[in-house]
Structure 1
């Protein structure tokens, strides 16, 4: 696929027309189109991807309570309101560490998370098999600092119906990070156990790369690069990539680029430029904000890493 002829633009929909239509419909309060966009989406990962985009549309909180009130028997507006409130809560908190976050921000953060959980709890009460609702409850568990047993129960409720639900695994990994409610040991144990159970071609294998990136973030300068370039880490990343994005059975369900970008960045940081180049072949121009934003401007970091991979890996 090299050379690429344009500077990639971060598109959260990855060019998916249904995803774009859904976001546009929510922006103009078009309930019928929202329903139509989601009506026949039954794959758990695809549905979670679409709902995640819908949840991130600004201003939904201003009008969706009316939809909930006017259609009390429908779980869709409740689900959208609850999922939106999870991301809306993080908007209030900001991305800074706790010591740099004000009490006012925390108060609003928890208020919005309570709203989210009230909605999502009702969805799961009516439809216990709603994996998207459970996945977002897995995400909110981290913010609300829910105890380990309840947090694990939420994740288990997802994988009961969708054993390889990617978003749920990613959110569970975040909960188990040392910066939240776990430890490096718990994080890596979960990532490796989940990958060992995942089928070839599954996107779940990406959490191995995500775990190494999270660990890299916590290390002092110098030690971070040393970790990523350790022979065992490099071997583990290559093996995980070959079971996922580089496997012939890789599942290209909506949302796949963020998982492929995770491998591209991890392999680039590990100095495995040849393997990174193979992943960039798959990614094309589908750059994603996460995880590249951990290193600064996401699009620029993506382009720089891609140039390295093709220059030194071929």
Structure 2
């Protein structure tokens, strides 16, 4: 995402240099930034192979446990694959749950030792879906994370996923959660993207033809614009680590809604910093983004 800190972190983790990784991560104090860089850690292959060495070397620190836990969740989903449940093999599910247990054991130890660790609680909201811990426990994790940082983007985005109809919630709950969070958040907050994410989830759930008819409805377009006005288009919005994803999410939603002027603004805002989310849900991120960008620029 064009972030020098993220590039450096990936480099030292790939080299198994946990000392440098730890030094960098300890310098990051903002909870949203911390979640972004932990997701960078989660994306580096092979961390599970040597994380225990870091844990053994720093028994008094929760940081290596946090990194192993965050990485373990991504590692678990890699074992499960992207297919639907009925197309996922029994062995894949066994390995998925085994890896999730490893991740949760690490994160549980972090919050036991440091109950105020926002990042650990946030990643426990992610694993709540895979382990199917139930509504009460998931909400407990969500509230534990947001009590320390009320507008934590990663936690809210993951809770929105839990509330999707394809997981454990419903369309009504998903939209109510997104709208309430955006209305309550400070102006300029990246949480405005939750409304766009909810509409994209709805679009994905519909059959071909119905999906485009839905996204191009005047009320959907209006709500997307209102959310962007409170978020990425507001003067109070600030670019923090991971910022391109906010604009990519809105660009995708506006493009699918046929709001070419609004889409063009977001495409220009992130330039060539195309992110996997949300484009991967439509196909190849680079190809899909470029095709929709051309349409927006042509018709805006």
TM-score between the two structures when normalised by the length of structure 2: 0.98
Q: Report what 2:232 is aligned to.
A: 245
Name the count of aligned residue pairs.
Answer: 300
Q: Report what 1:66 is aligned to.
A: 53
Q: Report what 1:184 is aligned to.
A: 171
The counterpart of 2:38, out of the listed 32, 44, 51, is 51
The counterpart of 2:292, out of the listed 305, 308, 313, is 305
Q: Give CA-to-partner distance per residue, 1:241-298, whole Å, 9 cap, x none.
A: 1111111111211011112101000001001000111111211111111111111111
For the residue of structure 2 that corresponds to 1:128, the secondary structure is: coil
In the TM superposition, residue 77 of structure 1 has moved relative to its aligned partner by 0.7
Aligned positions of 1:125-140 closer than 5 A: 125-140=112-127
1:228 lines up with 2:196 in the alignment: no
The counterpart of 2:203, out of the listed 212, 216, 221, is 216
Aligned positions of 1:32-111 closer than 5 A: 32-111=19-98
Q: Give CA-to-partner distance per residue, 1:4-41, whole Å, 9 cap, x none.
A: xxxxxxxxxx1211111111111111122112211221
In 2, Cα distance between equivalents of 1:270 and 1:114: 40
In the TM superposition, residue 102 of structure 1 has moved relative to its aligned partner by 0.5
In 2, Cα distance between equivalents of 1:84 and 1:53: 9
Note the aligned Cα RMSD (angstroms): 0.9
For the residue of structure 2 that corresponds to 1:42, the secondary structure is: coil
In the TM superposition, residue 43 of structure 1 has moved relative to its aligned partner by 1.0
Q: Report what 1:9 is aligned to.
A: none
Deviation larger for 64-73 or 116-125: 64-73
Aligned positions of 1:121-160 closer than 5 A: 121-160=108-147
Deviation larger for 88-97 or 247-256: 247-256
| Contact 1:209–1:266, Cα closer than 8 Å, also in 2 | yes
Q: Report what 1:279 is aligned to.
A: 266
For the residue of structure 2 that corresponds to 1:104, the secondary structure is: helix
| Contact 2:3–2:242, Cα closer than 8 Å, also in 1 | no
In 1, Cα distance between equivalents of 2:13 and 2:290: 32
In 2, Cα distance between equivalents of 1:202 and 1:308: 28
Q: Report what 1:3 is aligned to.
A: none
Q: Report what 2:14 is aligned to.
A: 27
TM-score between the two structures when normalised by the length of structure 1: 0.94
In the TM superposition, residue 125 of structure 1 has moved relative to its aligned partner by 1.1
In 1, Cα distance between equivalents of 2:9 and 2:106: 21
In 2, Cα distance between equivalents of 1:135 and 1:200: 23
Q: Give CA-to-partner distance per residue, 1:217-250, whole Å, 9 cap, x none.
A: 1111111111101111110001011111111111
For the residue of structure 1 that corresponds to 2:102, the secondary structure is: helix
| Contact 1:267–1:275, Cα closer than 8 Å, also in 2 | yes
In 2, Cα distance between equivalents of 1:21 and 1:297: 26
Deviation larger for 109-118 or 32-41: 32-41
The counterpart of 2:161, out of the listed 163, 174, 195, is 174
Moved over 4 A (4+): none
For the residue of structure 1 that corresponds to 2:148, the secondary structure is: coil
Structure with the bigger RCO (C-alpha within 8 Å, sep 6+) is 1
Unpaired runs of 5+ in structure 1? 1-13
In the TM superposition, residue 69 of structure 1 has moved relative to its aligned partner by 2.1
